[in-house]
Amino acid sequence: MTDQHVTRDIVQKLWGLCNVLRDDGITYQAYVTELTFLLFLKMMQETKREDALPKGYRWSDLTKREGEGLLTHYRALLLKLGTSGTGMVRDIFTDAQTSLRKPTNLSTLVSEIDKLDWFSARREGLGDLYEGLLQKNAGEKKSGAGQYFTPRPLIDCAVRLLKPQSGEIVQDPAAGTGGFLVAADRYIKDATDDLFNLSPAQQAFQRTQAFAGLELVLDAHRLLLMNLMLHGIEGAGVAVGDTLSPDGERLPKADLILTNPPFGTKKGGGRPTRSDFSITADTSNKQLAFVEHVVRSLKPAGRAAVVVPDNVLFEDNTGQRLRSWLMDLCNLHTILRLPTGIFYAQGVKTNLLLLQRGTTDKGNTKSVWVYDMRADAPAFGKTRPLTMQDFADFEKVYGSDPNGGAKRKDQGEEGRWRCFTRDAIKARNDNLDISWLRDTEVDVEEHLTEPVDIAAAIIGHLKAALADIENLSDELEPDSVDEAVAVPEAAE
């Protein structure tokens, strides 16, 4: 059995244990968090790195206890590691608490985890296990699922296109649980014989300084740190914080940014509080503000891949100003129109922007190439997940140059791959929502069969409509309180 099959088998067994815990009031998300605490302790043992944990508070100290004594010690362990641990261990377990109330349930988790085939799964460790569990969680929840989960095939596609290099600073300003950062790290390790081709100083840089970012949600940040640490990324500069606040200004300038920022508006209609923002300072639209961050955070000649919803491409006023500014400062060389249904309950229409920061501040975009992966696409969802093969044709026409400089050929109105000059885009008032093939989204949704996929499509349409209303209200900027219209906050 291959490592990949072993990992999938372990994920399935671990997910099955969730049924045991339902009578303890454990939700799916709480279960993933609970399980990750235990997986972290087990993997520290498997990778012989338990010297980072205080004696008496390691995996073996759980396996030799039973009943109420086990649960009592587990609670003490979480407190100890969160207060007396060192470095990333302390950060991971800060304010950690267990949702388990029944000792028998904790005992079941510990014994079942201990029996799994860790020898075969050791190479990938918690990283792939966690991402598999998160994907399971996204597929099981009926709404709001997967808000931190970007499909692995999309992440890997972006990484293959932009080719992270050793010695570069890679940033994700909306890091979630670390999917983009872990994939970039894996790409670099594959190209450097697991870093052995690098000097000791270069190896230290990759482990401690190469990756940076912020994550707003504490629980996601906790899991992110576990994920990074068990992939050999230590002392990572990925903190808890809000990128649209002064926290974002303190991030180091990046050679490469890979990110899938949150969609919607800031809570309470708040605006970014960045002193360096000029284009999006007066909007509560988070996706527009994150694009400004990406441009400002790139080094000259730095590159980025950013997932954005359609409204970033066509919105007037602030949106139009942002696109014009971006195309002046950057070479926006490629837009990939992504199919719907790939973000589970987030059924919004999305795109992957691929760009390079210029070394001057004017006229960097000469033309934009657009690949339409949305038209005539399969009905993606639980029964038809996104795969690496789905990106094969796009990667072929994109070419080997990470900055879009490879030889390209326009496929014309019948093809998926077309080029639009900067002048042609200017004639469209810098509207980049460009399509020429018949949009068969409605036809695709008619063929959905899984209730979870149908619900996701409905929720996606409702969220998109609500976001449009909020953005319109935000842009109108009423002159008086009497004219203001209260709009409920969009779900994130």
User: Partners of 215 in the beta sheet?
Assistant: 240
- Please name the helix (run of DSSP H) or strand (run of DSSP E) that holds residue 353, with its range, or none: strand 350-357
The three-point CA angle 420-425-429 to 5° equals 165
pLDDT for 194 equals: 92
Round the CA-based radius of gyration of the chain to a whole number and report it.
23
- DSSP state string for 11-38: HHHHHHTHHHHGGGT--HHHHHHHHHHH
Domain 3-136: what homologous superfamily?
A: N6 adenine-specific DNA methyltransferase, N-terminal domain (1.20.1260.30)
In this structure, which amino acid lies at residue 60? S
pLDDT at 265 (0 to 100): 67
**What DSSP string describes 291-339?**
HHHHHHHEEEEEEEEEEEETHHHH--THHHHHHHHHHHHEEEEEEEEPP
Alpha-carbon dihedral sign for residues 317, 350, 227, 144 = positive
Return the pLDDT at 156: 95
The answer to whether 308 and 293 are in contact (CB under 8 A) is no
Cβ proximity of 175 and 238 under 8 Å: yes
CA distances from 102 to 9, 93, 256 (A): 27, 21, 46
Please name the helix (run of DSSP H) or strand (run of DSSP E) that holds residue 254, with its range, or none: strand 254-259
- Domains 3-136 and 144-446 equal at CATH topology level: no
Exposure of 355 by Cβ count < 10 A (0-12 exposed, 13-18 middle, 19+ buried)? buried
Domain ranges of the chain: 3-136, 144-446
Name the DSSP class of 391. Answer: G
d(CA 346, CA 377): 17
Strand pairing report for 298-309 and 237-240: unpaired
What is the rounded CA–CA span in Å between residue 157 and residue 258?
A: 11
> Cβ(159)–Cβ(134) under 8 Å?
no
pLDDT in tens, 14-55: 777 777 666 666 666 677 778 878 888 988 888 888 988 999
Q: Which residues of the chain have pLDDT under 50?
A: 142-148, 345-346, 478-492
Distance CA 347, CA 340 (A): 6
pLDDT at 233: 87
pLDDT digits (tens, 9 = 90+) for 229-272: 878 887 668 999 999 999 999 999 999 999 999 877 665 567 89
Fold for domain 144-446?
Answer: Rossmann fold (3.40.50)
Q: What is the pLDDT of residue 24?
A: 66
Global pTM value: 0.84
